[in-house]
């Protein structure tokens, strides 16, 4: 049995190890990390999964803006999400994302983006189609830029650059 909890300050070192194991120590050179530089994740939307008391997965959401200058809208950047090697492929990551997306919706957030494989993330509602008119600062495979509406219609007419909250 697993337990999803809000991440605590003393979880940070374990989460860092988990992220390094999943994505490598050079993970912070990726474009998505530019949107996280000098920005704190939303504490109420950072979760860990414990199984028998051991941290086995984590998920974080970050505040971002997207859209054309003067018409930017608030959004969330989902990620990174990581699951320990022992529990990969068992649906734990999907359950963790479903939980996080439901809490984000309850807290009044309306749109979320991420960079990842659509074949996996479509299982929790993300699509490339929703992000067709968005751009990221720096190199990114546009086919991997995905979005989801937490509120129907929230992505309508949203286009332009994704940027970090200033």
Which tens digits make up the pLDDT trace of 8-34? 999 999 998 888 887 767 656 566 666
Would you kindly state where each structural domain of the chain is located, as residue ranges?
Answer: 2-164
Distance CA 71, CA 158 (A): 9
Residue 76, class by beta-carbon neighbours within 10 Å (0-12 exposed, 13-18 middle, 19+ buried)? Answer: buried
| Rounded Cα–Cα distance for residues 43 and 159 (Å) | 27
Most confident option among 1-5, 128-132, 162-166 = 128-132
pLDDT digits (tens, 9 = 90+) for 53-82: 999 999 999 999 998 877 889 999 998 999
- Cα atoms found within 13 Å of the Cα of residue 129, Cβ hemisphere only: 6
The pLDDT value recorded for residue 21 is 82
Q: Judging by beta carbons within 10 Å of its beta carbon (0-12, 13-18, 19+), is residue 140 exposed, middle or buried?
A: middle
Task: Note the pTM of the prediction, 2 decimals.
Answer: 0.92
Could you please state the CATH topology (level 3) that the domain comprising 2-164 is classified under.
Answer: Aminopeptidase (3.40.630)
160-164 and 54-67 as β-strands: parallel, antiparallel, unpaired?
antiparallel
């Amino acid at each position: 049995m697993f337990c999803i909890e809000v991440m605590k300050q003393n979880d940070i070192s374990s989460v860092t190890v988990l992220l390094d194991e999943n994505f490598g120590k050079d993970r912070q050179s990726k474009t998505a990390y530019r949107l996280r530089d000098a920005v704190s994740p939303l504490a109420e939307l950072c979760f860990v999964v414990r199984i028998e008391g051991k941290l086995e997965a984590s998920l974080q959401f970050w505040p971002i803006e997207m859209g054309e200058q003067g018409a930017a809208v608030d959004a969330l950047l989902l990620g990174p999400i990581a699951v320990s090697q022992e529990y990969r492929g068992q649906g734990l990551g999907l359950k963790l994302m479903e939980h996080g997306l439901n809490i984000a919706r309850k807290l009044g957030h309306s749109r979320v983006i991420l960079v990842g494989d659509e074949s996996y993330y479509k299982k929790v509602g993300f699509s490339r189609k929703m992000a067709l008119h968005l751009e990221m600062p720096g190199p990114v495979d546009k086919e991997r830029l995905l979005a989801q509406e937490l509120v129907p219609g929230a992505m309508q007419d949203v286009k332009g650059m994704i940027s970090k909250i200033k």
